[in-house]
Amino acid sequence: MFDWFISLNSVTIDFDTSHQFFPRIIITLLLVLGSLILLANIRPVWRAMRSGRYQFFVRNADFFRLLVTLVLIPVYFWSMDAIGEELPNMGLGFLLASIPFVFLMSMLYCHERTRRNVTIITANAVIAPTVVWGVLYHLFLVSMP
């Protein structure tokens, strides 16, 4: 019996599988805690969802702006890379993708598209990326696509 207790305490980590040792402990703990959280919260959350007290999106969520933001950002990243591949080692991927991105995102978030605001947005879309590109890429030699 005593030997059995002693054997529980001893541990040998096989080098070939050592990369799995710690992650397995963490995953086990996460599964245990996850189950506890689910068990403790599933009923109140379900009730709250049915009664409308809990909702994933904020009340009166702006789905249009949210959705376009979630599309615009990855498109910006993709286009930056694509342009950078075509025109490498000049940081032009960043510059040429950022100008339309800043313009479109500003237009998206602008609630009053007056002539004055659109002028500011257009100027900002050209000036801000150009200044960042000029200062960071040329002056500070920061890598850009």
Residues engaged in binding other proteins (CB under 8 A): 9-13, 15-16, 18-23, 26-27, 29-30, 33-34, 36-37, 40, 56-58, 60-62, 65-66, 68-70, 73-74, 76-77, 80-81, 94, 98, 101-102, 105-111, 117, 120-121, 124-125, 128-129, 132, 136, 140-145
Closest approach of other proteins to the CB of residue 21, in Å: 6
Closest approach of other proteins to the CB of residue 62, in Å: 4
Please tell me the distance from the alpha carbon of residue 136 to that of residue 130, in angstroms, as a whole number.
10
Closest approach of other proteins to the CB of residue 87, in Å: 14
Q: Is the separation of the CB atoms in 144 and 94 below 8 Å?
A: yes
- Enclosing H/E stretch for 28: helix 18-51
Closest approach of other proteins to the CB of residue 52, in Å: 16
- Decide whether 22 or 46 has the Cβ nearer to other proteins: 22
Q: Show Cβ contacts of residue 72 under 8 Å, excluding neighbours closer than 6 positions.
A: 101, 104, 105, 108
Closest approach of other proteins to the CB of residue 112, in Å: 9
Q: Is the separation of the CB atoms in 131 and 91 below 8 Å?
A: no
**In the numeric block, which tokens belong to residue 79?**
């286009």
- Decide whether 52 or 74 has the Cβ nearer to other proteins: 74
- Decide whether 87 or 136 has the Cβ nearer to other proteins: 136
Please tell me the distance from the alpha carbon of residue 145 to that of residue 131, in angstroms, as a whole number.
16
CB atoms within 10 A of CB 121: 19
